[in-house]
A and B are shown apart, each in its own frame.
Chain A
């Protein structure tokens, strides 16, 4: 009897970790398949410059996915990220116009702070105003973008307005790896460890799996929700600064439409829209997979018009497979419990 209890106790986490691993293993396998398959047809796909471009293109989406994942884990959603990216990109640009000598770290801090403030607005609305996240962030998607329009007022920030040190920051590299990519990897690793192994991080999973149980377990759900949205905003604000550094040119529409790509990447990466399930590694791989797919289609000279359709189909395939896998594992779990 005791043996059996011990057994189920040890086998349950094993099954869970095995499943999680399987999810990421299958993503990596798919990534390798697409990459090597494309490279077999056009070896240029694996050239250094092409890979560097690929990672640079993916990195901003991958960064925003980090914050979105935290919010999705809590069974909420943040649709306003695209507007936060746009506003942060433009205001940072204006800051450089006003103070050309602004050091790069200060610009990054400014983006972080601005994003945190905007994210806190979402957090307050959801946590304390009890406005459903979809409604609140759809509303702030409009409000933040409207503020962006008002600030930009038909203007534009061009690369010529920006100091070369800032523009060089995005493309500059350490040992061949672009700074932008390094920064995104650092943020991902940091939050990955936090979500995986720290009490505060685990609380996001608890809130999303069962918020009533989380309350009973002594977690302050409202505070956790507020922090989660503030983090999502801060990361999107940081992404805005990097967007500016990467592209140099920013107008009022910068970043618009990004929100759905970000959610798509998280979902492909196995982060559940129903909360409580998913990892940053998976979400990052999801972003990478979508990026690799689109650049593979370019490399293979697929007619441009097919690309979006293929990406949509891939996204549907990914969530369908995910659903079937998780349903099978749920069935197995149920079987284990009854026997």
Chain B
């Protein structure tokens, strides 16, 4: 029953994605052109990448608020090392390693000391952003070779698909398989639904959580590399505030903030829905204000509407049961 409800929500989201595409096409003839769709999807590639790992973390009933700061830190590391004369591939590896370390630090504080992830990652949100400034100051490193910046805003040869989104799709498929078809993936739901029972069932809860936070750091760093090349600019303040956008997308995707429920498909559909609505409304000159309100309303509505419907259904059933009794 629950599974069917969930599937229902994902189907709804996918229908909404197509409805948004359709309305976008009605709003402006320029909307459904290849170049616009490329631009539009490239625009949310970082959110999409981080949403994958955020989905897993929220399924185990934790949260990571430090993702945008980790993105900024890895961008700063990449820029600083490049400016210091490192070859770019090596600088990318270093940036990814820094992200993984940042995630490891979060994970250790959360699993070894037993601290709440919300509190820890508010702390590291400030700490990692601060470290990004320590690494790069307020400089902007911009003179990356064209080959790499092309990785950021170029498309796959012969298609309108932005390279970062292609990368995202590969990773999304891997995540779907891992989450829904492996014992490890299924164990995440058990841990999120009831960590104590999961521990009794022999799951290594702490180790699983630790690995997810390392993954989250790594994905944020990857998003940092993408961001840096896409804007051809490494800055300490890259993507400030992105964390709330990622969490909003994942929650809109039907992942429960209390853990144990949700799917990658829902989260991905939600990322696309928000991205497409934003893109379509921007194209017809609807300003930021409406976009912000729409995101917020979608988020609230995604939880409120099913709750109200459920409430209404039980109310009706109770009335019907009462009616039956009267007839008897």
Contact = CB atoms under 8 A, between A and B. Distances in A.
Interface in A286-339: 304-313, 315-316, 319-320, 323-324, 327
A101 interface: no
Contact of A308 (B119, B130, B288, B293): B130
Contact of B303 (A131, A144, A309): A131
A312 B128 contact: yes
A9 to B, nearest CB: 30
A98 to B, nearest CB: 21
Contacts of B138: 305
B289 A260 contact: no
A312 B289 contact: no
Contacts of A134: 257
Contacts of A274: 116
Contacts of B118: 77, 273
B120 A316 contact: yes
A279 interface: no
B124 A316 contact: yes
A307 B130 contact: yes
B244 A141 contact: yes
Interface string B274-287: 00000000000001
Nearest to B124: A312
B contact residues, range: 35 or more
Q: What is the interface of chain A mostly: helix, strand, loop, or mixed?
A: helix
Nearest to B245: A142
Contacts, number: 143
B134 A131 contact: no
B114 interface: yes
B289 A149 contact: yes
Nearest to B69: A312
A229 to B, nearest CB: 14
A144 to B, nearest CB: 8
A315 B129 CA distance: 14
A138 interface: yes
Nearest to B298: A139
B295 to A, nearest CB: 5
A147 interface: yes
B248 A142 contact: yes
A77 B122 CA distance: 13
A149 B292 CA distance: 9
Nearest to A313: B127
Nearest to B63: A134
Contacts of A79: 244
Nearest to B301: A139
Interface of B: 65, 109, 113-116, 118-120, 122-131, 133-134, 137-138, 236, 241, 244, 247-248, 251, 257-258, 287-297, 299-300, 303-304, 307-308
Interface of A: 77, 79, 125, 129-132, 134-136, 138-147, 149-150, 153, 256-257, 260, 263-264, 267, 273-274, 304-313, 315-316, 319-320, 323-324, 327
9 contacts: A132-B257, A149-B288, A273-B116, A305-B133, A308-B127, A312-B124, A316-B123, A319-B123, A327-B114
Would you list the 3 A-B pairs with minimal beta carbon distance, nearest first?
A: A309-B130, A312-B127, A142-B296
